[in-house]
Amino acid sequence: MATRASRTDVIRMRLGCHGLSGPALSNPGAVAGRMLAVQAQDYRAGLWAIGVRVPGSTVSDVARAIDTAVLVRSWPLRGTLHFVPAPDLHWMLGLSAPRVLAGMRTRRAQLGLDDSAIEGARTVALDSLSGGRELTRAGFLAALEAQGISTGGQRGYHLVANLALTGTLCWGRHTGTAQTLVLLDEWVPSPRRLEHDEALGELTTRYFRGHGPATAKDLAWWSQLTLADIRIGLGVARKDLIEIDLGGVTHFLAASAEAGLPGSAPQRRSTVFALPGFDEYLLGYRGRSVVVPDDRFPLLVPGRNGIFLPLILSDGRVVGTWRTETTPRGVWVEAAPFETMTPRQWAGFERAIDDYARFSGRPVTIRPGRGAPDPVVPLT
């Protein structure tokens, strides 16, 4: 029988599953282990998505986890870059890559990328990267060109993505400001190997552990797997899940997150967060109205161009956005709340930006004015 829950209950449970309340996650690997996949198409946003969930961490801590293959950046879901725990990437690609590659078939044909071109690129990758060698994206594209494989237009991107989706490449450590490409089997020599249905059950359990409570449709959107696969995953994972009823709609929560059920005491480290753009707290779901009203959602994606702005979160609800601007005088933050913040919210936002500044290692200043509460005028 499903446990009835209010929207406030669901938000409280989600904050806990996302590592934004309750006991702090101890390191970047723990975040990836909890979330399974953290969107990282915007690389810096992905770093902060991990950092905001590890109080006291720095960008160097996350970079170190990437450089030592604790986290791996690749295309494990929806044809979109994510950070994932290194041992999990192989089985995730086994589930998701066939559908993503099928969806890219038309574009590959338009670019003239037939099987011969792709296999030629794979040979170049194996020849140039075997033995622990690495190349930046620019270096790898130059190696392809040297072998007569054109990378003009979007061909270079599609070749790299195809080789990653088929398990040949992944992104490795940093060299200067660039990430390098490496051979996946060398970078992750001891992957987990799961059979198809077992992998579906693992994906299901891990999704609801890091994103619950959420619906089966949320999982289908997040993974871009078929509803038939989602049903198999739910069947395999059923013993590890709790059903939550929100307004007559069944949501699922991993049993390991049971402490967040209605009636439990909330455990929070903060009530206001400055989350990055593309954060899983919003993008991890097909339906987002639990945390942001439908009429406010367009403000998070101006122009409907697919670029999600950084979020201001207060008590688990999205109350606005924020932006950074780097100038010769430093980094500035501008808040764009939906409504004027209360003094408590503004103070929390200032603390959240202080956390962001400490994480990034750069001084950050909030522009005065928009969204800030009116100053208190002392009585005379």
pLDDT of the chain along its 380 residues, tens only? 789 999 999 999 999 999 999 888 999 999 999 999 999 999 999 999 999 999 999 999 999 999 999 999 999 999 999 999 999 999 999 999 999 999 999 999 999 999 999 999 999 999 999 999 999 999 999 999 999 999 999 999 999 999 999 999 999 998 887 899 999 999 999 999 999 999 999 999 999 999 999 999 999 999 999 999 999 999 999 999 999 999 999 999 999 875 555 444 445 567 999 999 999 999 999 999 999 999 999 999 998 888 999 999 999 999 999 999 988 878 999 999 999 999 999 999 999 999 999 999 999 999 976 667 755 433 33
pLDDT of residue 177: 79
Q: Which SS3 state, helix, strand or coil, does residue 370 take?
A: coil
- The reported pLDDT for the residue numbered 374 is 58
pLDDT at residue number 303: 81
d(C-alpha 193, C-alpha 36), whole Å: 16
CA-to-CA distance for 286 and 158, rounded, in angstroms? 26
Cis omega before residue 213 (within 30°)? yes
8 Å CB contact between 203 and 223 = yes
With the C-alpha atoms ordered 129, 135, 158, 275, is the resulting torsion angle positive or negative? positive
What is the pLDDT at residue 329? 78
Q: How far apart are the first and last CA of the chain?
A: 61
Phi, psi (degrees; rounded to nearest 5) at 134: -145, 150
Give the amino acid at 313. Answer: L
- Rounded CA-CA distance 33/30 in Å is 5
The residues, ordered by sequence, that sit 6+ positions from 347 with a Cβ below 8 Å of its Cβ are: none
Could you tell me the two tokens for 13? 């449970």
Is residue 134 classed as helix, strand or coil in its secondary structure? coil
Output the pLDDT for position 269.
62
Which 3-state string (H, E, C) describes 38-94? Answer: EECCCHHHHHHHHHCCCCCCCHHHHHHHHHCCCEEEEEEECCEEEEEEHHHHHHHHH
Q: Who contacts 208 (Cβ-Cβ below 8 Å, separation ≥6)?
A: 17, 214, 219, 237, 241, 252, 253, 254
34: which 2 tokens?
A: 């909890």
What is the per-residue pLDDT across 306-345, written as a single tens digit (0 to 9) for each? 899 999 999 999 999 999 998 887 899 999 999 999 999 9
Among 58, 69, 67, 68, which residue's Cα sits nearest to residue 27?
A: 58
Q: What's residue 265's pLDDT?
A: 45
pLDDT of residue 256: 80
**CA distances for 192 relative to 91, 92, 94, 185, angstroms:** 7, 10, 11, 12
Helix axes 43-51, 59-67, angle to 10 degrees: 110
